[in-house]
Structure 1
Amino acid sequence: MNLRVSNLMSHTTAAVLQKIFSAYGRVISCKVVFNNVTGHSCGYGFVEMLQEAEASRAMQELEGMNINGRYIAVSVAR
């Protein structure tokens, strides 16, 4: 299951997302999206998890979690 994680601070990395989401199950990939022109973070990223049940649990429990000073939003990626 692919999740969208938004409201990330500009210095939040894929490694940070990997560490946080790994507590809920196997993470296949993590990506933070950057602006191609400026090179700055767009403030969101994607986490792909192997099991749908683990991804659902992570989505429910991490919604509104404070990461690096911001409260993140986690939803199913479309």
Structure 2
Amino acid sequence: MDIYVSNLSPYVVSEDLKNQFSKFGVVSSANVIMDKFTNRSRGFAFVSMPNDAEAEKAIQEMDGTSFDGKAISASKARPREEKNNRSSYNNRW
């Protein structure tokens, strides 16, 4: 299960998240999303845990807790909506 983690401190790195969520089970990946222009954290991340029960426990325990001085939010990640900007652009002509 993929977990969406938001309201992260700008100083949190992927390894910090992996260590924190590993308390609840196996973490296959943790990825803090970085701004491609400034290379700074965008304040959110995705953590992937293969065991759904462990992931649910992590969400329950981590949501609303303080992590590096900020109250973080943790929830089940939703699938990304695909954007098709080219078609709307082409429809203008």
Q: TM-score, normalised by structure 2?
A: 0.82
- Count of paired positions: 78
Following superposition, the deviation at residue 50 of structure 1 comes to 1.1
Which protein, 1 or 2, shows the higher relative CO under an 8 Å CA cutoff with sep ≥ 6? 1
- Structure with higher Rg: it is 2
Q: TM-score, normalised by structure 1?
A: 0.97
Identity fraction in percent:
38
The corresponding residue for 2:11 is: 11
The corresponding residue for 1:77 is: 77
1:45 counterpart = 2:32 = no
Following the alignment from structure 1 to structure 2, what is the Cα–Cα distance between the partners of residues 66 and 22?
16
The corresponding residue for 1:21 is: 21
Runs of 4 or more off by more than 6 Å in structure 1?
Answer: none
Task: Point out the structure with the larger strand share.
Answer: 1
**5+ unaligned residues in a row in structure 1: which ranges?**
none
**5+ unaligned residues in a row in structure 2: which ranges?**
79-93
Following the alignment from structure 1 to structure 2, what is the Cα–Cα distance between the partners of residues 46 and 39?
17
